[in-house]
């Protein structure tokens, strides 16, 4: 691996004497196999934009052969693969092939979906393939609010698809089934009702404040004054459909450029100059040099506190809260933990015996 600590872009007044370790492979590979969507949620950093030309520029489908090469390059590190960054994964044209290629290489699949087009056939495919986790983005408990935050009123349809997947899965271990709520002014009043409706029903409920794409930060988060390097740039590699790598999954319109894995390779980009520079600037507090990161406070995402209450393990950070059903904790492990420490062993052991 290249030693970047003596590179000519190192400022001698800010030497990089003790760089933070970078794992050999990213732990999380976020891949837009298809940047396409059947919704235009106003909050979405890509599809919420009213600049259709900018959207057209990032739309696209990853070639299957390129996808295979990419997966071959990372399989030794067994990263978790999220099959979309700013696309709807159920709309990947060759979804079954892509998912099979990922699992065949021993890598977990963790998908967020708007859930609209889940069929029995697809649900059965996910269960048979043992897709690791499917999280439905619901963001509401009424169709009026769904209309405001996701631009459609088909709440019953999405909810019935959550139950469809749980029914098809039955007592099988995978997929882990969850629902998520992205908190914003238009739905905040339904947060408590959402928690009441879903906690203990699905395996996991996730809540997270919205990222404000205009401000470039999570305006609802109070981060500590003392800033630290963002853990995401040591764990996560976001890849667009054209093989280009971004510094952050929040960069939907390709403001940052870390390299191209089809022209180089995943390890070459992961340990390459552009990401090394970004890590150096983070570690030495030179935020002006990383304009995309400068206003952002998402670096607090992994500082978790834990609470156990009424059969639920709650993990709360300034960004995410996860409500994990304790009797389905056995399927929350390995890279599915997404940067969390594993759940306490005694809780996993008390999980009911179905898994
Ligand atoms: C970008 S979507 C892509 C996957 C899929 N189409 C979906 O909606 O779940 C992934 C997740 O990001 C959330 N999301 C979208 N815009 C966001 C924003 N500005 N801030 C925080 N989360 C956001 C969505 O609610 C969803 O749970
Ligand atoms: S949040 Fe998901 S469903 Fe909504 S527009 Fe973005 S990619 Fe599509």
Give a three-class secondary structure readout of 207-231. EEECCECCCCECCCCCCCCCCCCCC
pLDDT at 330: 85
Q: Which two tokens stand for residue 268?
A: 């070459």
Cis bond before residue 226 (omega within 30° of 0)? no
Q: How far apart are CA 135 and CA 146, in angstroms?
A: 17
Question: How far is residue 113 CA from its own chain's centroid?
Answer: 11
Q: Is 37 exposed, middle or buried (0-12, 13-18, 19+ CB in 10 A)?
A: buried
Q: How far apart are CA 141 and CA 199, in angstroms?
A: 13
Q: How far apart are CA 225 and CA 223, in angstroms?
A: 6
Which of 30, 37, 42, 43 to mutate to test ligand 1, by most ligand atoms within 8 A of the CB atom?
43
User: Phi/psi at 290 (nearest 5 deg)?
Assistant: -125, 75
Name the 3-class secondary structure at 84: coil
C-alpha 41 – ligand 1 centre gap (Å): 9
pLDDT at 1: 73
Q: How far apart are CA 181 and CA 208, in angstroms?
A: 6
Name the 3-class secondary structure at 266: helix
pLDDT at 300: 82
**Neighbouring residues of 228: CB distance < 8 A, sequence distance ≥ 6:** 299
Q: Which two tokens stand for residue 249?
A: 């999954």
Ligand 2, closest atom to CA 114? 3
Please list the alpha-helical segments (H only) found in the chain: 52-58, 64-74, 95-104, 120-129, 143-150, 155-169, 191-198, 232-235, 266-270, 273-283, 345-349
C-alpha 211 – ligand 1 centre gap (Å): 10
Task: Give the pLDDT of the chain (355 residues) as one tens digit per residue.
Answer: 789 999 999 999 999 999 999 999 999 999 999 999 999 999 999 999 999 999 999 999 999 999 999 999 999 999 999 999 999 999 999 999 999 999 999 999 999 999 999 999 999 999 999 999 999 999 999 999 999 999 999 999 999 999 999 999 999 999 999 999 999 999 999 999 999 999 999 999 999 999 999 999 989 888 888 899 999 999 999 999 999 999 999 999 999 999 999 999 999 999 999 999 999 999 999 999 999 999 999 888 777 889 999 999 999 988 889 999 999 988 887 777 766 778 888 888 766 544 3
Instruction: Decide: 310 and 199 in contact? Cβ < 8 Å.
Output: no
Pocket of ligand 1 (CB under 6 A): 37, 43-45, 84, 86, 88, 112-114, 137, 180, 182, 208, 210-211, 213
**Neighbouring residues of 18: CB distance < 8 A, sequence distance ≥ 6:** none
In DSSP terms, 60 is beta-bridged to 35
Question: How far is residue 246 CA from its own chain's centroid?
Answer: 14
Instruction: Decide: 158 and 138 in contact? Cβ < 8 Å.
Output: yes
Instruction: Decide: 208 and 220 in contact? Cβ < 8 Å.
Output: no
- Nearest ligand to the CA atom of 55: 2
pLDDT at 222: 83
Instruction: Decide: 247 and 292 in contact? Cβ < 8 Å.
Output: yes
């Amino acid at each position: 691996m290249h030693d970047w600590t003596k590179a000519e872009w190192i400022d001698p007044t800010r030497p990089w004497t003790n760089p933070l370790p970078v794992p050999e492979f990213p732990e999380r590979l976020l891949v837009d196999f298809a940047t396409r969507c059947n919704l235009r949620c106003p909050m979405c950093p890509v599809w919420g934009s009213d600049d259709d030309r900018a959207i057209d520029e990032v739309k696209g489908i990853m070639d299957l052969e390129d996808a295979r090469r990419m997966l071959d390059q990372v399989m030794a590190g067994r990263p978790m693969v999220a099959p979309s960054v700013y696309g709807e994964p159920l709309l990947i044209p060759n979804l079954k092939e892509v998912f099979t290629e990922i699992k065949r290489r021993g890598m977990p699949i963790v998908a967020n979906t708007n859930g609209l087009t889940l069929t029995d056939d697809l649900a059965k495919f996910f269960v048979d393939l043992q897709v690791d986790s499917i999280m439905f983005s619901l963001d509401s408990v009424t169709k009026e609010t769904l209309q405001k935050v996701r631009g459609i009123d088909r709440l019953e349809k999405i909810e019935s698809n959550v139950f469809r997947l749980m029914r098809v899965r039955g007592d099988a271990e995978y997929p882990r089934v969850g629902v998520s709520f992205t908190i914003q002014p238009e739905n905040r009043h339904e947060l408590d009702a959402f928690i009441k409706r879903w906690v203990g029903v699905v395996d996991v409920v996730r809540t997270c404040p919205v990222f404000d794409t205009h401000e470039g930060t999570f305006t609802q988060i109070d981060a500590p004054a003392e800033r630290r390097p963002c853990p995401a740039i040591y764990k996560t590699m976001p890849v667009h459909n054209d093989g280009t790598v971004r510094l952050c999954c929040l960069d939907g319109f390709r403001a940052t450029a870390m390299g191209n894995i089809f022209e180089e390779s995943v390890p070459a980009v992961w340990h390459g100059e552009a990401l090394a520079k970004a890590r150096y600037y983070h570690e030495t507090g030179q935020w002006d040099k990383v304009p995309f990161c400068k206003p952002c406070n998402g670096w607090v995402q992994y500082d978790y506190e834990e609470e156990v209450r009424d059969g639920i393990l709650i993990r709360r950070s300034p960004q995410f809260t996860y409500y994990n059903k304790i009797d389905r904790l056995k399927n929350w492990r390995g890279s599915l933990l997404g940067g969390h420490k594993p759940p306490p062993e005694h809780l996993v052991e008390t999980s009911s015996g179905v898994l």
